[in-house]
Chain A
Amino acid sequence: MATIAQPYAGTYPRPSRWEVIWEWITTVDHKKIAKLYLVTSFVFFILAGIEALIIRLQLARPDERLISAETYNELFTMHGTMMIFLVVMPLGVAFFNLLVPLQIGARDVAFPRLNALSYWIYLFGGILLTSSWLFEAAPNDGWFAYANLTEKTFTPGHNLDFYYVGLQILGISSLIGAINFFVTILNMRAPGMRIMRMPPFTWMVMVTSVLLFTALPVLAVDLILLMFDRAYATNFFNPAKGGEPILWQHLFWLFGHPEVYIMILPAFGIISEILPTFARKPLFGYPVVVLSGAAIGVMGWGVWAHHMFTVGLGAAANSAFATTTMLIAVPTGIKIFNWIATLWGGDLQMKTPLYFALGFIAMFIIGGLSGVTHGIVPADYEQHMTYYIVAHFHYVLFGGALFALFGGIYYWYPKLFGRMLDETIGKWHFWLMLIGFNLTFGPFHMLGLDGMPRRIYTYAANNGWGFWNMVSTIGAFTIALSILVFFWNVYVTSRKPADAPADPWDGRSLEWTIPSPPPEYNFARIPVVHARDPLWHQKLLRRYGRATGNDPLAQEPADEHIHMPPRSFYPIITALGLPLMGYGFIYQQDHKAFWALFAAGIIVLFLGAFGWATEPTE
Chain B
Amino acid sequence: MIARIRRLRYLLASIPFLLIVLLASGCIGNSNPQDSLSPAGAAAADSKRLFYPAFWIAVAIFFLTEGALVAAVWRFRHRGAPSDQLPKQVHGNTRLEVAWTIAPALLLAGLAVPTIATIFHLRPSSEGNPLNVTVIGHQWWWEFRYPDLGVVTANELHIPTHRRVNLLLQSEDVIHIFYVPRLAGGMDNVPGRNNTMWIEADKEGEYQGQCTQFCGASHAFMRFKVFADSPQNFDAWAQHQKEGPVNPATLPDQGNQVTYTYNGKPGTPAGGLKVFSNNACIGCHTITGVSNGMVGPNLTHFGERTSLAGASLTNTPDNVAKWIHNPQAVKPEAKMPNLHLSDEEIANLVAYLESLK
Contact = CB atoms under 8 A, between A and B. Distances in A.
B26 A149 contact: no
A564 interface: no
Nearest to A457: B220
B69 A288 contact: no
B122 interface: yes
Interface stretch (B206-214, B237-245, B263-271, B340-348): B206-214
B76 A378 contact: no
11 contacts: A73-B219, A322-B119, A337-B96, A337-B100, A376-B111, A377-B118, A381-B47, A382-B51, A446-B26, A455-B219, A460-B223
B62 A365 contact: yes
A382 B185 contact: yes
Interface residues of A, number: 98
Given A310-B185, A378-B50, A345 B92 contact: no
Given A73-B217, A285-B92, A326-B108, A453 B179 contact: yes
Main secondary structure of the interface of A (DSSP, over half): helix
A19 B301 CA distance: 78
A544 to B, nearest CB: 10
A141 B195 contact: no
A69 B108 contact: no
Interface string A374-400: 011111111111100000000000000
Interface string B27-38: 000001111110
A462 B91 CA distance: 57
A149 B214 contact: yes
A519 B236 CA distance: 86
A337 B97 CA distance: 9
A463 B34 contact: yes
B197 to A, nearest CB: 8
B203 interface: no
Interface string B99-120: 0110011001101100110111
A449 B35 contact: yes
A509 B7 CA distance: 37
Contacts of B190: 239, 245-246, 311-312
Contacts of B91: 282, 284-286
A378 B217 contact: no
Nearest to A145: B214
B6 interface: no
Given A282-B90, A286-B91, A344-B76, A453 B211 contact: yes
A459 interface: yes
A346 interface: yes
A540 interface: yes
A365 B35 contact: no
B77 interface: yes
Given A154-B139, A281-B86, A337-B96, 14 more contacts: A239-B192, A312-B188, A319-B119, A366-B62, A377-B115, A379-B54, A382-B48, A385-B186, A449-B37, A451-B179, A453-B179, A454-B214, A456-B219, A464-B33
Contacts, number: 292
Contacts of B182: 451
A379 B50 contact: yes
B78 interface: yes
B69 A361 contact: yes
B130 interface: no
A285 B99 CA distance: 13
B65 A336 contact: yes
Contacts of A281: 86-90
A387 B118 CA distance: 23
A458 interface: yes
Nearest to A241: B192
Interface string B178-199: 0101101111101111011000
Contact of B112 (A280, A326, A334, A452): A326
B147 interface: no
Nearest to A285: B92
A588 interface: no
B2 interface: no
Contact of A373 (B48, B55, B78, B104): B55
A384 B50 contact: no
Interface in A49-97: 68-70, 73
B23 interface: yes
B32 A381 contact: no
A221 interface: no
B1 interface: no
Contacts of A154: 139, 173-174, 216
Given A148-B191, A239-B191, A246-B193, A451 B116 contact: no
Interface residues of B, number: 96
B23 A451 contact: no
A127 interface: no
Contacts of A334: 97, 100-101, 104
A146 interface: yes
Contact of B212 (A337, A435, A454): A454
Contacts of A455: 214, 219
Contact of B87 (A347, A350, A383, A543): A347
Given A69-B218, A311-B190, A450 B35 contact: yes
Nearest to A366: B62
Contacts of A382: 36, 44, 47-48, 51, 181, 185-186
A442 B19 contact: yes
Contacts of A383: 36, 185
A445 interface: yes
B35 A288 contact: no
A384 B73 contact: no
Interface string A357-375: 0100110011001101101
Given A146-B175, A149-B215, A347 B86 contact: yes
A449 B36 contact: yes
A450 B174 contact: no
Contacts of B22: 442, 446
A348 interface: yes
B123 interface: yes
B69 A378 contact: no
A462 B90 CA distance: 57
A240 B78 CA distance: 67
A343 B35 CA distance: 41
B3 interface: no
Nearest to B74: A348
B232 interface: no
A438 interface: yes
Contacts of A386: 36, 212
B26 A245 contact: no
Contacts of A465: 32
B246 interface: no
Contacts of B97: 285, 288, 334, 338
A20 interface: no
Contacts of A361: 69
A333 B68 CA distance: 14
Interface in A414-473: 431, 435, 438, 442, 445-446, 449-460, 462-465
B126 to A, nearest CB: 16
Interface in B140-196: 169, 173-175, 177, 179, 181-182, 184-188, 190-193, 195-196
B85 interface: yes
